[in-house]
Amino acid sequence: MALTTLFYCIPAFGEAQSSANTGQGVAEPLLMLTLENPPLAYTHEDGSVTGVLVQVIREAARRTGHEVEFRIDPWKRVIREVSEGNADAAFNAGVTEERKSWGMYGETVLIDETFVFFSRGPKALTRTLDEAAQLRVGIQLGYYYGERFDQMLKDRPFHAVEVNQTIPRNLRLLGADRIDVFVGDLLPTLYYIKKLGLEDEISIVTEKESGLPLVVSTSDTYVAFSRRSVDPAYVETFDKALQSVKASDTFDTILGSYQLNVPELPETP
């Protein structure tokens, strides 16, 4: 999805560099990997990789004099390929001690992942989930929802917990009244609600206290560069470029093009 309002800002970050390793000559494409997760990153019907984060990263890299090739892989393969230096970066990656052993992170957050409750029709719950014993909860396999909610899953205060692999599956269970709430990543879940035509059927659960969306957890994600294939100096250069993109209206312009009904969120989850 081309952006016609972006301007070239390469001079602000020095002359174009040939590769993330050498910093000389004509830039070679960087190879960046992530998982299929629309609208953040996904495979277009023509086979190309696109998405909100793909467009943001492409613009940031362009401002450093680089092009980027993107590839969608299962997440375990993404981590393996970048850690071994077969790819230059993994994006939409959280920070862990294990990942810092092979990856380099800038200071600029790529995106704040926000997990909220979704329900069939309007629903309000207390911030402390006093209603837990009455709730049938849908979650996604392999997702980390933050320390507080993951502890609740271990303590099992809910009436039932259903684990599924995909967002569409959980949305169908909501529609069939098989679960009461689904804990979903905000932007991807809104994307599928729109794609499946469920805007009038599925709602974001609100807090009884504030009327704002009931946020389960938030998680900062970044671009994690491979220590084996990328010069640390380039990580700093890219970070400044990404910061400039995030400071402008570029991100909002890109996200707005997907026409998702993104609500106002509470300042503190």
Total-model pTM? 0.85
Q: What is the pLDDT of residues 222-243, one digit of tens each?
A: 999 999 999 999 999 999 999 9
What sign results for the dihedral spanned by CA atoms 185, 190, 191, 193?
Answer: positive
Q: Are 188 and 111 in contact (CB under 8 A)?
A: no
Quickly list H helices, 52-118: 52-62, 75-83, 97-100
Residue type, 239: D
Question: Beta-strand (E) ranges in the chain?
Answer: 30-34, 42-43, 49-50, 68-72, 89-93, 103-105, 111-120, 124-125, 136-140, 160-164, 181-185, 202-204, 206-207, 215-226
Mean pLDDT (the chain) is: 89
Mean pLDDT for 157-171 is 95
Cα separation, 106 vs 163, in Å, equals 34
| Per-residue pLDDT at 27 | 53
| Per-residue pLDDT at 236 | 97
Mean pLDDT for 50-78 is 96
Cα separation, 179 vs 228, in Å, equals 45
Residue 16 has pLDDT above 70, yes or no: no
Mean pLDDT for 137-142 is 92
Residue 189 has pLDDT above 90, yes or no: yes
Share of the chain above pLDDT 70, in %: 89
Q: Which residue has the higher pLDDT, 230 or 24?
A: 230
Residue 169 has pLDDT above 70, yes or no: yes
| Per-residue pLDDT at 142 | 82
**Helix, strand counts (H, E) of the chain:** 8, 14
Domains of the chain, earliest start first: 11-111+220-256 (3.40.190.10), 112-217 (3.40.190.10)
- As given in the structure block, the two tokens for residue 259 are 């026409």
Residue 171 has pLDDT above 60, yes or no: yes
Q: Which residue has the tokens 């837990």?
A: 132
CA 201 to chain centroid, in Å, comes to 24
Mean pLDDT for 20-46 is 81
Q: Are 249 and 256 in contact (CB under 8 A)?
A: no
Residue 15 has pLDDT above 70, yes or no: no
Share of the chain above pLDDT 90, in %: 82
What b/e string do you get for 12-36 counting C-beta neighbours within 10 Å, with b at 16 or more?
Answer: ebeeebebbeebeeebbebbbbbbe
Q: Note every long-range contact of 248-252, with CB atoms under 8 Å and residues 24 or more positions apart, other chains counting.
A: 250/3, 250/6, 250/56, 250/59, 251/52, 251/56
Quickly list H helices, the chain: 52-62, 75-83, 97-100, 147-155, 167-175, 186-195, 232-247, 250-256
Beta strand 30-34 pairing with 89-93: parallel
Q: pLDDT class for 21, splitting at 50, 70, 90?
A: low
